């Protein structure tokens, strides 16, 4: 992707003052919050001044500089979600005393709206990243009229809020196509998510999770990492594992993460004949995640609501083979027959592919090596540099537009 910056590079333009606006941030653990923390740190390493605006999370203190917490109200209990309250003295004062060159919104809710209002009043360029298809999460809402009404409203809201940005970023081609279908009119740029690849190249404590679970070094360890919520289809993974368990009699299925479906899934697992080989770790600390991934044999996913999952990038950066349900979100990350397998949303087909892979040591090694090669294009450094170029393009376009408008006003008689 190429951006036009009038011949200037980021270093020549000096320090940028960047405002990042998000409705989800630490201590929440999800792809958006993790990605934003990496972007903020990456921009700061390149010398820019970054301020993150996010809802206040009671009892949590930020250890990252430049985070402004806005007054919030609890919206959901499980998982806990807080929504920022606009128009309070705290939020108004926090923004009035800040000076920015560019704003970047990462959600369409109240903090995203705050970014739009700030950009409008201060005449600043606004970048908007479309991280999530809210149509896939309407099951969390219950209103009169049912699911159809909710999805129709969600589709309208999605397109309308996205069009508020001057430039739109999507993490994958999947969402580029989705926004075209939704008639989004602003320029759309595909900028893949990135991670600090060096964190996942080696394990600091190899074997630590196997020891915790009582598993031998050669025991096949099948791993899923992420939120334990309905859209992740973790019950599908349990069913597939139960089907293939006899073909790999020493394999174990591991879930790392927490969420609203955990109790239901634990009950589902307990009802299978292999319940003693299914483990729920709960939340795993970010610092321990490389150890967990390096202990695993294969990484699993059954979700079709992903965008450009950080968890999959972390898995391939750790050299893991993968088995997932076919979805456009995995384009470029999981290549059929090279570093993993993509199956239909069919339990039998998934179980067959998984059992075949686990029973083939040569293929496991070959796929793992290919995963490492594919991961190289997903560095946080690459993502930050590309964002930096987009920021500069937007600043220059905004300046030119403002300059032309001012001259036009003066030339009026």
Residue 2 pLDDT greater than 50, yes or no: no
The end-to-end CA distance of the chain, in Å, is: 43
167 and 238 belong to one structural domain: no
Distance CA 402, CA 124 (A): 10
Highest mean pLDDT range out of 72-76, 161-165, 235-239? 235-239
| Per-residue pLDDT tens digits for 302-352 | 999 999 999 999 999 999 999 999 999 999 999 999 999 999 999 999 999
Distance CA 209, CA 294 (A): 9
DSSP three-state, residue 238: helix
Percentage of the chain modeled with pLDDT above 70: 86
Is the N-terminal amide bond of 79 cis, ω within 30° of 0?
Answer: yes
The H or E element that residue 295 is part of is helix 289-295
Prediction pTM value? 0.89
Residue 1 pLDDT greater than 50, yes or no: no
Question: Do 178 and 306 contact (CB within 8 A), yes or no?
Answer: no
What letter would DSSP give residue 219?
S
Residue 52: strand pairing partners? 20, 67
Look over the chain and give the mean of its residue pLDDT values, rounded to a whole number: 90
Residue 336: strand pairing partners? 340
The H or E element that residue 400 is part of is helix 380-411
By residue range, what is the domain housing residue 126? Answer: 17-194+379-411
Average pLDDT over residues 74-94: 77
What letter would DSSP give residue 80?
T
pLDDT at residue 97, as a whole number: 75
| Per-residue pLDDT tens digits for 185-213 | 999 999 999 999 999 999 999 999 999 99
Question: Do 127 and 167 contact (CB within 8 A), yes or no?
Answer: yes
| Per-residue pLDDT tens digits for 260-291 | 999 999 999 999 999 999 999 999 999 999 99
What tokens does 192 get?
């893949």
User: Which of 326-340 are b and which e, b meaning 16 or more Cβ less than 10 Å from the residue's Cβ?
Assistant: ebbbbeebbbeeebb
The answer to the question of residue 7 being in a domain is no
CATH of the domain at 270: 3.40.50.2000
150 and 288 belong to one structural domain: no
286 and 398 belong to one structural domain: no
The answer to the question of residue 53 being in a domain is yes
Domain count, the chain: 2
Residue 406 pLDDT greater than 60, yes or no: no
219 and 322 belong to one structural domain: yes
41 and 117 belong to one structural domain: yes
Relative orientation angle of helices 31-45 and 310-317, to the nearest 10 degrees: 70
Distance CA 40, CA 51 (A): 8
The answer to the question of residue 288 being in a domain is yes
DSSP three-state, residue 157: helix
Average pLDDT over residues 27-45: 95
pLDDT at residue 81, as a whole number: 85
Sign of CA dihedral 47, 49, 54, 56: positive
């Amino acid at each position: 992707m190429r951006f036009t910056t009038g011949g200037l590079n980021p270093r020549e333009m000096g320090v940028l003052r960047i405002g990042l606006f998000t409705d989800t941030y630490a201590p929440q653990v999800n792809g958006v919050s993790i990605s934003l923390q990496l972007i903020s740190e990456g921009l700061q390493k390149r010398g820019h001044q970054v301020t993150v605006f996010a809802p206040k999370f009671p009892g949590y203190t930020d250890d990252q500089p430049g985070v402004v917490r806005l007054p919030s109200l609890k919206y959901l209990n499980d998982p806990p979600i807080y929504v920022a309250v606009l128009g309070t003295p705290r939020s108004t004062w926090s923004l009035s005393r800040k000076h920015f060159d560019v704003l970047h919104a990462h959600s369409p809710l109240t903090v995203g709206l705050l970014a739009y209002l700030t950009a409008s009043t201060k005449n600043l360029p606004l970048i908007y990243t479309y991280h999530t298809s809210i149509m896939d999460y309407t099951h969390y809402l219950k209103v009169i009229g049912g699911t159809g009404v909710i999805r129709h409203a969600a589709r309208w809201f999605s397109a309308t809020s996205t069009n508020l940005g001057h430039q739109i970023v999507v993490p994958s081609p999947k969402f580029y196509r989705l926004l075209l279908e939704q008639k989004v009119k602003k320029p759309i740029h595909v900028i893949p998510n990135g991670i600090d690849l060096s964190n996942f190249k080696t394990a600091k404590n190899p074997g630590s999770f196997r020891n915790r679970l009582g598993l031998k070094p050669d025991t096949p360890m099948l791993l899923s990492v992420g939120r334990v919520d309905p859209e992740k289809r973790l019950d599908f993974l349990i069913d597939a594992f139960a089907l293939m368990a006899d073909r790999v009699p020493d394999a174990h299925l591991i879930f790392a993460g927490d969420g609203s479906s955990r109790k239901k899934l634990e009950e589902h697992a307990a009802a299978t004949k292999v319940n003693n080989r299914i483990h729920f770790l709960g939340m795993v600390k970010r610092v321990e995640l490389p150890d967990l991934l390096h202990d695993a044999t294969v990484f699993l996913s059954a979700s079709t609501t992903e965008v450009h999952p950080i968890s999959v990038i972390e898995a391939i950066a750790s050299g893991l083979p993968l088995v997932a349900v076919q979805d456009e979100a995995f384009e470029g990350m999981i290549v059929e027959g090279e570093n993993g397998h993509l199956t239909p949303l069919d339990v039998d087909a998934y179980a067959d592919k998984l059992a075949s892979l686990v029973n083939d040591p040569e293929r496991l090694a070959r796929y793992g090596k290919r995963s490492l090669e594919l991961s190289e294009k997903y560095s946080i450094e690459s993502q930050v540099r590309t964002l930096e170029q987009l920021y500069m393009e937007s600043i220059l376009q905004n300046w030119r537009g403002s300059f032309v408008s001012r001259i036009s006003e003066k030339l009026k008689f």
